[in-house]
């Protein structure tokens, strides 16, 4: 092997170790809890929850969203629906009991990604993506919207937004 070829192989191997260059990575990950819900086993969103879902869509529809993920519950699917309609994307289902599988799937994507989840699953997802979840999400708290910004150095900046 020539010296040039060895140098080229070494350089390519070193580049593959750099975070963000070795594989695709989303430009931003947005995580939001479903909107306010009615009572019941698998409740629909309340009128206020539908309004909040429309607000989330209004805020995020120009953010370059390339994928939307939701659990299979009515309330999360209904929260994701207005954004899916505005972007023309299909909502992809994920299993909230397998958060690592979702994280692996999302990390292979490019562009901005939205994950709609629950008060008891979002903080763990934020941590798994490398972000800082802050305090627990209360049962009556529906306005928390996380924006996670992956950096080339592997760090993740967490911005806590709100929805009206």
> Distance between CA atoms of 128 and 136, rounded to whole angstroms?
15
Has residue 46 been placed in a domain? yes
Picking from 126, 148, 129, 149, the residue whose alpha carbon sits closest to that of residue 137 is 126
pLDDT confidence tier of residue 24, bands split at 50, 70 and 90: low
Q: Following DSSP, what letter does each residue of 29-45 receive, concatenated?
A: EEEEE---B-SSSSPPB
In the chain, the number of structural domains is: 1
What is the pLDDT, as a whole number, of residue 63? Answer: 96
Has residue 136 been placed in a domain? yes
Question: At residue 15, does pLDDT exceed 60?
Answer: no
Average per-residue pLDDT for the chain: 88
> Distance between CA atoms of 123 and 84, rounded to whole angstroms?
23
Has residue 70 been placed in a domain? yes
pLDDT confidence tier of residue 163, bands split at 50, 70 and 90: confident
Has residue 7 been placed in a domain? no
Q: Give the number of other CB atoms < 10 A from CB of residue 51.
A: 15
Has residue 110 been placed in a domain? yes
Has residue 156 been placed in a domain? yes
Which tens digits make up the pLDDT trace of 99-118? 999 999 999 999 999 999 99
Has residue 16 been placed in a domain? no
Has residue 67 been placed in a domain? yes
| Segment among 39-48, 68-77, 147-156 with least mean pLDDT | 147-156
Question: At residue 143, does pLDDT exceed 60?
Answer: yes
């Amino acid at each position: 092997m020539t010296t040039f070829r060895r140098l080229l192989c070494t350089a390519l191997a070193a580049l593959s170790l750099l975070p963000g260059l070795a594989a695709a990575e989303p430009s931003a990950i947005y995580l939001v809890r479903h909107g306010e819900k009615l009572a019941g086993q698998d409740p629909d969103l309340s009128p206020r929850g539908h309004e909040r879902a429309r607000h989330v869509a209004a805020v995020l529809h120009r953010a370059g969203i390339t994928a939307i993920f939701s659990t299979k519950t009515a309330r999360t699917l209904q929260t994701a629906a207005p954004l899916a309609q505005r972007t023309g994307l299909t909502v992809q289902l994920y299993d909230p009991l397998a958060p690592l599988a979702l994280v692996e799937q999302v990390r292979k994507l490019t562009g901005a990604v939205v994950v709609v989840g629950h008060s008891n699953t979002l903080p763990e997802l934020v941590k798994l993506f490398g972000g800082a979840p802050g305090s627990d999400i209360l049962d009556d708290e529906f306005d928390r919207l996380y924006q996670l910004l992956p950096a080339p150095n592997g760090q993740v900046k967490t911005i806590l937004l709100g929805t009206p």
